[in-house]
Amino acid sequence: MADIIKTATRDAYGKALVELGDKMEKLVVFDADLAAATKTGMFKKAHPDKFIDCGIAEGNMMGVAAGMASAGYTVFASSFAMFAAGRAFEQVRNTICYPHLNVKIGATHAGISVGEDGASHQCCEDIALMRSIPGMTILNPADDVEARLAVLAAAEMNGPVYMRFGRLAVPRVFDENYKFEIGKGVYLTEGTDVTIVATGLMVERALVAAEQLKAEGISAAVINMATIKPLDKEILLDAANKTGCIVTAEEHNIIGGLGSAVAEALAETKPVPVLRVGVEDVFGKSGPALELLDIFGLNAANIVAKAKAAIALK
């Protein structure tokens, strides 16, 4: 791991948009009256002629984004995850994904770590919703380095992308030499006893868990799965063959997210025990983000416990 630098992935999103605006002529950024929070305000300041505030009308924003994309533009449409994936689901499905348009959805404030905003805004169902749409690519970066690379990669590919960013400043996992590729998982540590497949802010916590397991004589591999769809089934099969059991870790409902995707993939190719660390099919609650992560078991201690349980099932 690199030196501990804490940055919210939403900040990296805003900076990456400015970077893209400097070099892409047919790029536009939309926001649903949340530019200060989503960090698209950085882009608005740098490129006001390429920015449109669509107001508190997320469904309409997605429809306008589809129209611009059909005219040859690369469009980034931004709002909180609860509104981008939840409120605007029908427009994302029918106007963006069905015609496979070049719209990139920047969904910030995802997960329990939204904190004091409470259950109404703590979207832990967005990955499940977006996974269900044919042709949608889903990116969930672990830190600011990966978030920047994910935004740049999304801009280069053709078709709809759902990008998930957080409000909470999280430790940096990667350095400037890190290579990001859509659709590829990455081994961060090698191991022989259990594999931890993590995404988003849970990647850093998975690495901490792996160190704790190592101190107890347990060898844990850690895979960063920043692309949840399309899922890297090849690396999962390799991990299942090497360690024989999997633990997934995500800041999302255990139903429909990374854990479900991994279990589904392995059930078809290499059935092994798969235990899930995530939100246990409940709504969130208001409180300090770091305290909530512990309350809902989104921590290294729970990953360690699940890893031991998974090993026992082999």
Cite the active site residues.
Answer: 58
Show Cβ contacts of residue 226 under 8 Å, excluding neighbours closer than 6 positions: 139, 140, 141, 142, 146, 150, 180, 185, 186, 199
- Which amino acid type is present at position 309? A
Distance CA 166, CA 174 (A): 17
Show Cβ contacts of residue 55 under 8 Å, excluding neighbours closer than 6 positions: 32, 33
Distance CA 58, CA 91 (A): 9
